[in-house]
């Protein structure tokens, strides 16, 4: 999960950050949908800022350099980016 404070034009950058982190981390996406969780409502914010989490489930194993799985049992975890 990554938490972001975004203007309307910043969502693409936030998603790119999450996707880049996932690619570089070695973790594999888990089963389930990636989603946005909003912590405030856009209109009342005088700065027009969204506070949003981008949540992606991950499998609890990493790829090795030769793409072998290091764990046989797959569990999903949350990684919190701050």
Residue 30: helix, strand or coil by DSSP? coil
Report pTM. 0.66
User: Residue 27: in which H helix or E strand, if any?
Assistant: strand 27-29
Instruction: Give pLDDT, residue 62.
Output: 60
- Whether residue 66 is predicted with pLDDT greater than 70 in this model: the reply is no
- Whether residue 48 is predicted with pLDDT greater than 70 in this model: the reply is yes
> What are the CA-CA distances from residue 76 to residues 7, 13, 30, 54 (Å)?
30, 25, 6, 16
Instruction: Give pLDDT, residue 44.
Output: 61
pLDDT band at 53 (very low <50, low <70, confident <90, very high): very high
53: nearest Cα among 78, 28, 31: 78
Residues 59-77: what's their mean pLDDT? 48
Asked whether the beta carbons of 2 and 54 are under 8 A apart, the reply is: yes
């Amino acid at each position: 999960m990554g938490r972001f404070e975004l203007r309307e034009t910043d969502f693409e950058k936030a998603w790119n950050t999450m996707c880049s982190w996932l690619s570089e981390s070695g973790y594999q996406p888990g089963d389930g949908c990636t989603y946005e969780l909003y912590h405030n409502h856009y209109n009342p914010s005088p700065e027009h800022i969204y506070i949003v989490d981008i949540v992606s489930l991950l499998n609890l194993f990493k790829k090795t350099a030769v793409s072998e799985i290091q764990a046989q049992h797959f569990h999903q975890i949350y990684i919190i980016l701050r």
